[in-house]
A and B are shown apart, each in its own frame.
Chain A
Amino acid sequence: MTETLCALLTQTWFAADMPEDICERLSAIAEVKEYPAGAAVVSEGTACRELGVILHGRIALRLALPGVGEQTILTIDDGDLFGWSALLPESIATSTGVTLVPTTALVFDRDPLMALLAEDPEIASAIYPRVLVAVTRRLQATRTQLLDLYRAGHEPW
């Protein structure tokens, strides 16, 4: 089963170039979860107990705005991470993740994952850069929305 999980993981960009032994050690503490469309995989402001890698599917990361409702700030697809707040000391989710289509993910429970990262620097050095990619994507999306690049401004004509 462990080999199968690793094989699934390496089919995504997240682990495409990950050394096999690291992939296997990681996969040993993971489980595959299936979510139907519309499932909340993380909830803003609540404890984030799981870090997930999407194997197949799509999740919308949303923020609730009073008077406006929920706004999707980013969607994530195959190979993308969700629940990265689980790696932070406070472990409080910064957005709500809702599956837009039936989604399969490889999920790591926070406690064994944190223990593994603490005791195995090789795994930590493989995981954290990939987490940074995920966070960078969030940042880029936020910047783009702040700049509102596509807006129609006042033109001379």
Chain B
Amino acid sequence: MTATSRFLPRADLDRFFAALAADGRRVIGPTVVDGSIVHEELGSFAELPTGWTADTAPGSYRLRATGLARDFDYNVGVTSWKRFTHPPVIQLTRGRRAGGQVVVESVQAEPPRLAFVGVRACELAALRIQDRAMRAGPLGDADHAARGDAALVVAVECASAASTCFCTSMGTGPEVDGGADIVLSELDEGFIVRTGTDAGAAVVDRLKLRSAEPLESARAAEQVAAVRDAIGDPIPAAGLPARLRAALDHPRWDEVAERCLACANCTLVCPTCFCTSVSVASDLDGVEGTTERTWDSCFSLGFGRVAGDSNFRPKVRDRYRQWLTHKFSTWWDQFGSSGCVGCGRCIAWCPVGIDVREELLAIAPLGAHEGPIPWPLSPAEGRAPASPASIAAATHVTATVHNVDFETADTATLQLATDDSALLAAQPGQFVMVELPGFAIPPISISRIRPDGLDLTIRSVGPATAALTTLTGGAQVSLRGPLGRGWPIEAAFGRDVVIVAGGIGLAPLRPLIEAIVADRPRFGAVRLYLGARTPRDRLFVAEMNALAGRTDLEVAEIVDRAGPTWLGRVGIVTQLFDHAPWDGSLATAFMCGPERMMQAAATTLNRLGVARRDLWLTLERNMACGVGTCGHCQLGPFFVCRDGPVFSQAELGTAFGREGL
């Protein structure tokens, strides 16, 4: 790294590009295409947007000739650098299924060796923020990490401010303070050059540049200081995360939803938004299958959709609130920073001109009354100590079907044999992603952990689960996992245990029940309350009957509807314990079932004295990646797949059962 600033005459810009090429890099930089400045691969410095700037305003972007010879006289390009570190489409896996044998492999593309030229301070922050998001979780996104590591970043300090800029409020600019390999400050006659890394210094050293004169450096500093003054501080960011989550019921959400088209433009141009979906393709004979990851958006109607045609964010209001509260509030819980860098792209490229600054000031102004917040600020109350499981998220393990038991007409338990040590170390409550090449990849709870494999209990409700439930002995599936946080069994040591299961929710509770039964003396009274749709829909009937025959357990069951031959109970599951004589304050409760059922059960259990920190439940959300990088399963500050699916009621705050989150 160079300790002193150097000076690159404008006439020598071609040498700078040549030095980047000599470093083995393709240059990605700004250029004018179809009336806008975008980032594309540049053949030479002559393709830079010399003499152009862009005037931006809510819903407006227009190029304007400046009459100056400057190359970087605009602020940010239309598209962000995530196109190159987090491409819109990448292939994830390729798989083959023939004669019942299954092999699925990850596809790791060789990252291109690129130089990003023209990265602004806010965009540098965005690269860092997205890097944290994509590297978070048990594994992180290997493709993103490789692409980021392979890139050389040449930042350019802003010399002017657009009307949509608010980097100053977000603390990301306009000064470039670090994070770049090379930093340029453009003056009329050339560039002040600083280096931030050895890689950057290696490129600059080839140019044999003279040192910058103090006056030149001072002019560059004055220039960026003027930008800071021009932007001002349009959003009071102090305390914004708490103010926003206290305003979840603000009427402005409805008002902005009337204007918002849910077109997703804001998330696509956003340099930090990272949400994706996975699409599956198969060849015509169903032998070869591939998966691709594509950009998606929390504004997409189906983004929060889960089983049973349920959609956790069906209204535009819900989705706008999700986006804004994630960016400015819950992002802090997840990644330790704001998710917004103040680049202003979402303002300019909103077709109806919604200005995020205006919305924030309306919804969460300084001094706003702070009501109860749905999620405690970090660290969350009652959160269990993190105990990372042995996770092999990117490893696709082939397991063989040993046996298939049909539990009901549409639900089967696959007994899978595997010797994979990570899978065999699965904890009760964890899940796996189950893949048959060519089919969608469902998350399936583990319903039994055996010394030589796992059981998965699967209800046939779509093509993939239909294919899985019709497998026979000897067939193979590909597994990724175990994933997520399981049941904290140790929290119930020495205490009474209450288990409430509804429908197929018994499947993830089954290994917990088995673990408790196997270690019975460590627990007080153990009570199981089981609900099902009809008598024919009850799971593990023989096992539950055997448990009911024990003297050291209490088992009660109820069905939602029944004919006259059913002599058991009919009604909702809370009916089994709503007048129970036991003291809930002595109990740790575990439950899984439809969220509405769990809400009712939680209310009843709380009334019986079960503390919110002692009530554990597993949530259903659209868990697509399983490791917290696709964004589908967010609930407030949580990624359900990574931070759950098991949560305490205390952790969830008032988010549990709340409509539209």
Residues of A that sit less than 8 Å from B by CB: 13, 58, 60, 62, 69-75, 77, 79, 98, 100-101, 137, 140-141, 144-145, 147-157
Q: Which of A69, A75, A140 contacts B570 (CB 8 A)?
A: A75
- Choice from A69, A70, A156 contacting B462 with Cβ under 8 Å: A156
9 A–B contacts from the bound complex (CB under 8 Å): A62-B564, A137-B575, A141-B571, A150-B532, A151-B308, A154-B308, A155-B465, A157-B440, A157-B462
- Enumerate B442-475 residues with CB–CB distance to A below 8 Å: 442, 459-465
Q: Which of B306, B462, B572 has the most CB of A within 10 A?
A: B572
The closest CB in chain A to the CB of B556 belongs to A77
**Contacts A69-B564, A77-B569, A155-B442 known; A150 to B462 CB distance under 8 Å?**
no
Partner of A150, one of B560, B562, B575: B560
Excluding A153-B310, A155-B308, A156-B305, 12 further A-B contacts by CB distance (< 8 Å) are A13-B579, A71-B561, A73-B561, A98-B564, A141-B570, A141-B572, A147-B596, A150-B504, A152-B308, A152-B410, A153-B308, A156-B622
CB distance from A43 to the nearest CB of B (A): 15
Among candidates A72, A137, A157, residue contacting B464 with C-beta atoms closer than 8 Å: A157
In contact, B579 and A74 (Cβ under 8 angstroms): no
The 4 closest A-B pairs by CB, nearest first: A153-B308, A150-B503, A13-B579, A150-B533
Within 8 Å CB of A147, what residues of B?
596
- Please indicate which of the listed interface residues A13, A147, A150 has the most CB atoms of chain B within 10 Å of its own CB: A150
Answer whether residue B153 sits at the interface, using C-beta atoms and an 8 A cutoff.
no
- For residue B537, CB closer than 8 A to chain A, the reply is yes
Does B531 touch A at the CB level, under 8 Å? yes
Q: With A and B bound together, what is the CA distance between A150 and B537 in angstroms?
A: 9
Nearest CB of A to B529, in Å: 14
Q: Which residues in B have their C-beta under 8 angstroms from that of A62?
A: 564
Asked if B600 and A58 sit within 8 Å, CB to CB, the answer is no
B582, CB-defined interface residue at 8 Å: no
Contacts of B566 in A (CB 8 A): 72
- How far apart sit A71 and B561, CA to CA, in the bound complex (Å)? 7
Residue numbers in B under 8 Å from A100 (CB-CB) = 567
Residues of B within 8 A of A157 (CB): 439-442, 461-465
The residue of chain A having its C-beta at the shortest distance from the C-beta of B537 within the complex is A150
Question: How far does the Cβ of B635 sit from chain A's closest Cβ, in whole Å?
Answer: 18
Q: In the assembled complex, how far is the CB of residue A72 from the closest CB belonging to chain B, in whole angstroms?
A: 5
Q: Would A71 and B560 count as touching, CB distance under 8 A?
A: no
Within 8 Å by CB of A149, from B461, B462, B562, B594, lies B594
Q: How far is the CA of A71 from the CA of B534 in the complex (A)?
A: 11
Are A149's CB and B579's CB within 8 A?
Answer: no
| Chain A: CB-nearest residue to B463 | A157
- What CA separation (Å) do A74 and B464 show in the bound complex? 36
B578 to chain A, nearest CB (A): 8
B546 in the interface (beta carbon within 8 A): no
A144-B572 contact given A70-B563, A151-B533, A154-B309, CB 8 Å threshold:
yes
Q: From residue B605, how far is it (CB to closest CB) to chain A in Å?
A: 16
Give Cα A118 to B315, complex, Å.
Answer: 51
A75 → chain B closest CB, angstroms: 5
Residue of A nearest to B568 (CB): A75
**Contact, CB under 8 Å: B461 / A153:** yes
Interface centre among B309, B502, B532 (most CB of A within 10 A): B309
Contacts of B537 in A (CB 8 A): 150
Q: Which of B460, B461, B563, B622 contacts A71 (CB 8 A)?
A: B563
Let me know if A150 and B563 touch, CB within 8 A: no
Known: A155-B461, A157-B462. A148 touches B533 (CB 8 A): yes
List the B side residues contacting A101 at CB < 8 Å: 567
Contact of B597 (CB < 8 Å), options: A58, A74, A149, A152: A149
With A137-B575, A144-B572, A156-B440 already in contact, the answer to whether A72 and B564 are too (CB < 8 A) is yes
- Separation in Å of the A45 CB from the closest CB of chain B? 18
Whether A75 contacts B462 in the complex (CB less than 8 A), given A153-B310, A157-B442, comes out as no
| Assembly CA distance A148 to B502 (angstroms) | 12
Tell me the smallest distance from the CB of A10 to a CB of chain B, in Å: 13
B residues less than 8 Å from A148 (CB atoms)? 533, 560
Interface membership of B307, Cβ < 8 A: yes
- What A residues does B440 contact at CB under 8 A? 156-157
Question: In the complex the two chains form, is B567's CB within 8 Å of A144's CB?
Answer: no
A73 to B590, CA, bound (A): 27
Q: A62-B564, A157-B442 are in contact. Are A150 and B594 (CB under 8 A)?
A: yes
Say yes or no: A72 contacts B562, CB within 8 Å.
yes
User: Which chain B residues border A154 with CB–CB below 8 Å?
Assistant: 308-309, 461-462
CB distance from A139 to the nearest CB of B (A): 10
Distance between Cα atoms of A149 and B563 in the complex (Å): 18
Complex Cα spacing A151 to B596, Å? 13
Q: Are B600 and A140 in contact (CB under 8 A)?
A: yes
Which A residue sits closest to B305, measured CB to CB? A156
Complexed CA–CA distance, A13 and B578 (Å): 10
Report chain A residues within 8 Å CB of B465.
Answer: 155, 157
